[in-house]
Amino acid sequence: MRQLVCLIILFICLCLPSLAQTNRSYMISSPKAMQSSRKDTIIAVSITKTVQRVPEWLLDCKNLQELEIIGDTVILTEELNQLIKLKKIRIKAKPTPNLFINLLGNEDYKKRFEALPAKEQMRIQDSANQAWQKSERERKPVYIKFAKLNYLTWLDLSNCYLIRSPKTLKNAVNVDTLFLSRNRLLDFPKKTRKLKSLSALFLDYNSLTVNKIRFPKIKNLKKLSIAYGNLKEIPKSIKKMPNLLSLALAGNQISYISHKLGKLDKLRQIILYKNKLDSLPEVIYQLRALEELDIYYNNVKKISSKISYLKNLTHLYLSYNQITTLPNEIGDLAFFTRNIHSPQ
C-alpha cells in the first residue's frame, strides 16, 4: 500500500505542470466574449483562429488575465500592453484532424464499421492512423511573432511544432515561466538567455538528441525540466545555471553526469527517473542542499555510504534498480522517506 501511495504521489508530481495547463473551465470562447456586454468581467479568453493583429474587442476586456490562441499564425502587437492585468498567454497549433475518429462520431458509419470482420477493422484503423501520423510529420511550425510585452509573466508555447524558439521570444522581457514542451526542438533554445526574469523552463517531450547539449547561461533559472527527450548525459555546461533548485530529467537515456553538476550548490531536487544510470557518481553526494533524489527505473546497483553527506535529504526514490542492500550510514538521515524496491 505504501509503495502504491508513493507511485501515485510521483505520478501527480510529474503530471502537475500539464494538469495546470489543461484546467481551462473558466475560459470564454472568443464569439461569446465579442458579444458580451460586460467585457470588463472577462478574465480568460480562448481564440481559435489565426491572429494577425490584436482584435479591438479584446482591448475592451480590461481585466483579462489569461489569453489562449489556437491557430497556425499568431502575431501579437504592442497594443496588447493596454491590458495591464494580462499575465498569461498560451499559444498552440490547431490539432491535426483524425478522419477515422471523426467518422466514428457518425452513428451510421460506426454501425457499418462495427459490422465488419475484426481483421478488416484493424486494417482500416491502421491505415487511418498511418495517414494521421503522416499529416502530423508534415505539419509546419506555428508562426509566432510578438512585440515587447511588458506585463506578461507566463508563456506557454507547447504543441506548436516548433523546431526552434521564435525570434521575437526576447520581447517577452518579464516572463518568469516558459513552456516549450511537445515541440520538435533539437537543441536547447539559446534565446532563453535573453529572458533575464526567467525562473522556470519546461522543455519536456522534445527531440533533444545531441550527446553534448550545451546549456546557455541563465543566471536566475530556478527550475529546469527536460523530461522524455533523448539526452544521454548531463554535460559540464550545466554549471551555467548556478541558481537551479530543481532539475527534472525523467525519461531520457542519461548514463553520464558531469562533475560540474557539483557547482549547483543550491539544488534541492533532482529527478532522474527512468534513465540509463548504472551507478550514482560522486558528484551527487556533493549536493548538500539536496532534499529529493529520484532514481526510479535505472540500473543502479549500489548506494555509497556517502549518502549520509546529504543531511537535508527527505525523499529518496530507489525502486526498480538492482539495489539489494543499503549502507548503514543511511540511518544518519533521520527525516527522509525511504522507498526501495527490488526489480520484478
What are 240-270's pLDDT values in tens digits?
999 999 999 999 999 999 999 999 999 999 9
Spatial separation of the C-alpha atoms in residues 64 and 43, rounded to whole Å: 4
Spatial separation of the C-alpha atoms in residues 176 and 87, rounded to whole Å: 10
Per-residue confidence (pLDDT) for residue 180, from 0 to 100: 98
Per-residue confidence (pLDDT) for residue 106, from 0 to 100: 86
CB 47 within 8 A of CB 27: no
Spatial separation of the C-alpha atoms in residues 184 and 289, rounded to whole Å: 34
First to last CA, the chain: 17
CB 276 within 8 A of CB 297: no
R_g over Cα of the chain: 23
Residues 6+ apart with CB under 8 A from 6: 317, 319, 337, 339
Residue type, 158: S
Mean pLDDT of the region 227-252:
94
CB 233 within 8 A of CB 255: yes
Q: Which of 334, 343, 332, 333 is nearest to 295 (CA)?
A: 343
Spatial separation of the C-alpha atoms in residues 333 and 102, rounded to whole Å: 56
CB 267 within 8 A of CB 287: yes
Q: C-alpha cell of 238?
A: 550545466
The strand pair at 143-146 and 73-76 is best described as parallel
Alpha helices in the chain (DSSP H): 2-22, 30-35, 99-104, 107-115, 118-137
Q: Does the pLDDT at position 212 exceed 80?
A: no
Spatial separation of the C-alpha atoms in residues 303 and 326, rounded to whole Å: 6
Q: Does the pLDDT at position 22 exceed 70?
A: no
Give the other-Cβ count within 10 Å of 56's Cβ: 9
Percent of the chain residues past pLDDT 70, beyond the cut: 88
Q: Which residues pair with 33 in a beta bridge?
A: none
Mean pLDDT of the region 197-219:
85
Per-residue confidence (pLDDT) for residue 336, from 0 to 100: 58
User: Among 33-42, 117-126, 281-290, which is the least confidently predicted range?
Assistant: 117-126
CB 221 within 8 A of CB 193: no
Q: C-alpha cell of 166?
A: 521564435
Q: Does the pLDDT at position 20 exceed 50?
A: no
Around 62, how many Cα atoms within 13 Å sit in the side-chain half-sphere? 3
Per-residue confidence (pLDDT) for residue 284, from 0 to 100: 97
Instruction: Specify the residue for cell string 540509463.
Output: 276
Per-residue confidence (pLDDT) for residue 128, from 0 to 100: 83
Secondary-structure percent of the chain, ordered helix, strand, coil, rounded to 5 = 30, 15, 50
Helix and strand numbers (H, E) in the chain are 5, 17
Regarding predicted confidence, which is higher, 52 or 10?
Answer: 52
Mean pLDDT of the region 78-95:
96
**Per CATH, the architecture of 208-344 is what?**
Alpha-Beta Horseshoe (3.80)
Q: What is the DSSP letter of 236?
A: G
Spatial separation of the C-alpha atoms in residues 141 and 35, rounded to whole Å: 32
What are 98-137's pLDDT values in tens digits?
877 887 888 888 888 888 898 888 998 888 888 888 888 8
Q: How confident is the model at residue 24 (pLDDT cuts 50, 70, 90)?
A: low
Spatial separation of the C-alpha atoms in residues 326 and 344, rounded to whole Å: 18
Q: How far does CA 342 lie from the centroid of its chain?
A: 30
CB 322 within 8 A of CB 343: yes
Percent of the chain residues past pLDDT 90, beyond the cut: 69
Q: Does the pLDDT at position 14 exceed 70?
A: no
User: Among 2-11, 165-174, 179-188, which is the least confidently predicted range?
Assistant: 2-11
Where in the chain are all domains bearing CATH 3.80.10.10?
208-344
Give the other-Cβ count within 10 Å of 163's Cβ: 13
Regarding predicted confidence, which is higher, 293 or 14?
Answer: 293
Mean pLDDT of the region 42-71:
96
Q: Does the pLDDT at position 4 exceed 50?
A: no
What are 126-167's pLDDT values in tens digits?
888 888 888 888 899 999 999 999 999 999 999 999 999 999
